[in-house]
Amino acid sequence: MEKKTFYITTPIYYPSGNPHIGHCYTTVACDSIARYRRMQGYDVMFLTGTDEHGLKIEQKAAEKGVTPKEYVDEIVKTFKKLWSYMNISYDRYIRTTDDYHIETVQKIFKALYDKGYIYKGEYKGKYCTPCESFWTESQLDENGCCPECHREVTEAKEEAYFFKMSPFAERIEKLLTETDYLQPKTRATELVNNFIKPGLEDLCVSRTTFKWGIPVTFDDKHVVYVWIDALSNYISALGFWNEKYNDFDKFWPADVHMVAKDIMRFHAIIWPAMLMALDLPLPKHLAVHGWITFNGQKMSKSLGNVVDPFILGERYGADAIRYHILREMALGADSSFSNEIMINRINSDLANGLGNLVSRTVAMADKYFGGTLPVEREEGDFDAELIAEVEELRAKVDDFMDKTQINNALAEIFKVVSRANKYIDETAPWVLGKDESKKARLATVLYNLLETIRIVSTLLSNFMPTTMPKVWEQIGAAESDITYENAGKFGVLPADVTVHRGEIIFPRIDVDKEIEELNKIIGSKAEPEEKADDGFEPAPVADEITIDDFAKVDLRVALVKDCEKVKKSKKLLCLQLDDGFGGRQVVSGIAAWYKPEDLIGKKVVIVANLKPVKLCGVESNGMICAADTPDGAANVIFPDQDLPCGAKLR
Ligand code: MSP
């Protein structure tokens, strides 16, 4: 019988700077899923790569005085080095500068044009000259300026090709709301409400203002702009409309595209529209995860090398880093990175939990039996319970992996690790070891522990592929013992198994000392000049004021009792607040980022003595305090929710 296939992809990364730990998440997550599927017997294609065209790359190369290709070649080397360091088992690496990809993109562009889905038009919009970027009205910052550099924009137009999206709106809405394409499906509402319901806008798909892109074959003033180039990688890498590979029929449609939330829209709307226009089958799942944040911001190079995966890996091992990021990120939410949380997690789960289980078990087999267990057995209390839990583990992990909930899969595995450590306490092998008549019982306990470790480490090898073979060596498992099939049943190791004491697999870390060291590294390696990576420049600090000036601003805690959208406005929400003084109504321009239900019941901070104004005809008595985020959104400040309404901020 032919093997079942499984095709999984990461986004292709912009090689505009070296990779950081934020980039690692998707790649490590996809790697773990790819490994898991291979272990289950699937024929897997795991694709990653780099998205190498565009203005930003052209500019960075010019700054360095090299050609764009020379520039990306260097950075791609670092990406590949990192993936090898993190033990990423990709099957194919695509570069959008590869000839075969260029050929496919050109053919796709032409086919869409011939079918009437791409047409020539005029791009009108707000143009930022220093950034050489067009912005739509809704992308501008609160002062109507460029969301990247916050300078003034001008009205401008440029000849461009457009991709018609509207013919696909209905099918896309169904895809998002009626199928399980989107994981988690809860994100469908925001996509439908923000992009589909207001009417899908045609997408600008070519540019004439820069050269570093794939030329449009029938109009060489134009280069293909961003998404048609980037998204096509998922099929060009299989050989669609090129001669390089011949895997399209075998692997398409993809089983999982995994992306972070900032590029969800492109994968949830534009990519399906492109495929529909090409009459191709749609991918089965789009798994969307949040960001790894640091101090509440999307992590980027600006935060210094301490979050450089190479540096962390050198200190704790690539597997510990893989484990930490996989364990922390829940699909659908952001995960906040902190050195302290990472070190504590390594200590508790890996050093104390798994590491201890392995070293205690192997040490006892060594001490009491010279490394080789006798074959006599005596069952006892707690055995059945442990064995049942261990034998059920694989099915639970399968289930979470099917739902792309890697953190939950790991949590299940570590529950069993804790259970096994508890079994050691319950059975007290050190007491059994003192009594010659209890040798058979002791051998049973140790065998059960070794079997538990075998199953746990087999499953874990998909997430921590470097360390687990060391565990197999220590517990005396042969290669043939380590299979998916054997991970579902107890009793695989030979009764007279021989263990081999080895190095400690995850050494315990001294938290305080390590944090101090890491802080020193932050100081020496931070690269503040790279801060613009996310397009986030903190707004300049305003002119100095006195404490009396500040005292004029009356900031208060208030509870959002009710909230609704202001009719005729896309930006405004109208909030009814309990301000501790009988209540008030405030209108706030945060509708793009918050739904009423996100705010109702929450305490917020308001400017309480602001002169009332009317916004879109609705009276507003005060202002909700919010912070700028790197992607130009507003982040409402939620104070301690136990503070009383009316509490004054100072
Ligand atoms: N080139 C596009 C993707 C095209 S896919 C057809 C791109 N590249 S990127 O390098 O900017 O980002 C690639 C992925 O890395 C995105 O999903 C992005 O969200 C993710 N991450 C970048 N920083 C991240 C974190 N701090 N945390 C989690 N993921 C992060 O977008």
Q: How do residues 56-113 score in pLDDT, each as one tens digit?
A: 899 899 999 999 999 999 999 999 999 999 999 999 999 999 999 999 999 999 999 9
> Under a CB-based contact definition with an 8 Å cutoff, are residues 637 and 604 in contact?
yes
Residue type, 573: L
Is the CB of 291 within 6 Å of ligand 1?
yes
With b for 16 or more beta-carbon neighbours within 10 A and e for fewer, the 338-356 pattern comes to ebeebbebbbebbbbbbbb
pLDDT, one tens digit per residue, over 250-272 is 999 999 999 999 899 999 999 99
**pLDDT reported for residue 16:** 85
**pLDDT reported for residue 226:** 84
CA–CA gap between residue 148 and residue 137 (Å, rounded): 14
Average pLDDT, the chain: 91
* 3-state helix, strand and coil shares in percent for the chain, rounded to the nearest 5: 45, 20, 35
174: pLDDT strictly greater than 50: yes
| Residue 156's pLDDT band (cuts 50, 70, 90) | confident
> Atom 28 of ligand 1 has which residue's CA nearest to it?
291
Is the CB of 52 within 6 Å of ligand 1?
no
> Atom 18 of ligand 1 has which residue's CA nearest to it?
260
More confident residue, 232 or 310: 232
**pLDDT reported for residue 295:** 65
Lowest mean pLDDT of 8-22, 118-132, 204-218, name the range. 118-132
pLDDT, one tens digit per residue, over 530-541 is 333 333 556 667
- Give the residue among 391, 461, 452 at the shortest CA–CA distance from 422: 452
Q: Which atom of ligand 1 is nearest to the CA of 10?
A: 5
* Distance of CA 586 from the midpoint of ligand 1 (Å): 36
**pLDDT reported for residue 523:** 57
* Distance of CA 49 from the midpoint of ligand 1 (Å): 12
> Atom 16 of ligand 1 has which residue's CA nearest to it?
260
**pLDDT reported for residue 525:** 52
**pLDDT reported for residue 544:** 80
**pLDDT reported for residue 470:** 97
Q: Which atom of ligand 1 is nearest to the CA of 259?
A: 17
* Cβ-proximal residues to 500 (8 Å cutoff; 6+ apart), any chain: 362, 371, 473, 474, 476
CA–CA gap between residue 246 and residue 251 (Å, rounded): 10
Q: Mutation test of ligand 1: which of 9, 10, 14, 16 has the most ligand atoms closer than 8 Å to its C-beta?
A: 14
**pLDDT reported for residue 289:** 94
Provide the percentage of residues in the chain whose pLDDT is more than 70: 94
Identify the burial level of 413 via C-beta atoms within 10 angstroms of its C-beta, where 0-12 means exposed, 13-18 middle and 19 or more buried. Answer: buried
- Residues forming a β-bridge with 575: 563, 586
Is the CB of 271 within 6 Å of ligand 1?
no
> Atom 15 of ligand 1 has which residue's CA nearest to it?
23
**pLDDT reported for residue 403:** 92
CA–CA gap between residue 506 and residue 556 (Å, rounded): 49
* Distance of CA 25 from the midpoint of ligand 1 (Å): 10
| Cα angle, residue 205 at apex, residues 59 and 212 outer, rounded to 5° | 25
Residue type, 530: E
**pLDDT reported for residue 531:** 31
pLDDT, one tens digit per residue, over 361-404 is 999 999 999 999 999 999 999 999 999 999 999 999 999 999 99
**pLDDT reported for residue 615:** 83
Helix (H/G/I), strand (E/B), else coil: 592: coil
Q: Mutation test of ligand 1: which of 8, 18, 23 has the most ligand atoms closer than 8 Å to its C-beta?
A: 23
Is the CB of 23 within 6 Å of ligand 1?
yes
302: pLDDT strictly greater than 80: no
528: pLDDT strictly greater than 50: no
pLDDT, one tens digit per residue, over 2-50 is 789 999 999 999 998 888 888 899 999 999 999 999 999 999 999 999 9
Q: Which atom of ligand 1 is nearest to the CA of 227?
A: 6
442: pLDDT strictly greater than 90: yes
Q: What is the mean pLDDT of residues 636-640?
A: 89
> Atom 12 of ligand 1 has which residue's CA nearest to it?
13
131: pLDDT strictly greater than 80: no
**pLDDT reported for residue 631:** 65
**pLDDT reported for residue 449:** 98
**pLDDT reported for residue 641:** 85
Is the CB of 79 within 6 Å of ligand 1?
no
578: pLDDT strictly greater than 70: yes
* Distance of CA 13 from the midpoint of ligand 1 (Å): 6
Is the CB of 647 within 6 Å of ligand 1?
no
Provide the percentage of residues in the chain whose pLDDT is more than 90: 71
* Distance of CA 509 from the midpoint of ligand 1 (Å): 31
Q: What is the mean pLDDT of residues 300-320?
A: 76
CA–CA gap between residue 7 and residue 253 (Å, rounded): 8
Is the CB of 14 within 6 Å of ligand 1?
yes
Q: What is the mean pLDDT of residues 264-285?
A: 97
583: pLDDT strictly greater than 60: yes
**pLDDT reported for residue 231:** 98
| Cα first-last separation, the chain | 72
Q: Mutation test of ligand 1: which of 259, 288, 297, 300 has the most ligand atoms closer than 8 Å to its C-beta?
A: 259
| Residue 245's pLDDT band (cuts 50, 70, 90) | very high
Which structure tokens are listed for 460?
């874990």
pLDDT, one tens digit per residue, over 458-501 is 999 999 999 999 999 999 999 999 999 999 999 999 999 999 99
* Distance of CA 244 from the midpoint of ligand 1 (Å): 27
626: pLDDT strictly greater than 70: yes
* Distance of CA 11 from the midpoint of ligand 1 (Å): 7
- Spatial strand order in the sheet of 182-183: 92-95, 43-50, 5-13, 256-260, 285-289, 182-183
| Residue 300's pLDDT band (cuts 50, 70, 90) | low
Helix (H/G/I), strand (E/B), else coil: 559: strand
> Atom 23 of ligand 1 has which residue's CA nearest to it?
22
Q: What is the mean pLDDT of residues 140-157?
A: 84
> Under a CB-based contact definition with an 8 Å cutoff, are residues 406 and 400 in contact?
yes
* Distance of CA 263 from the midpoint of ligand 1 (Å): 7
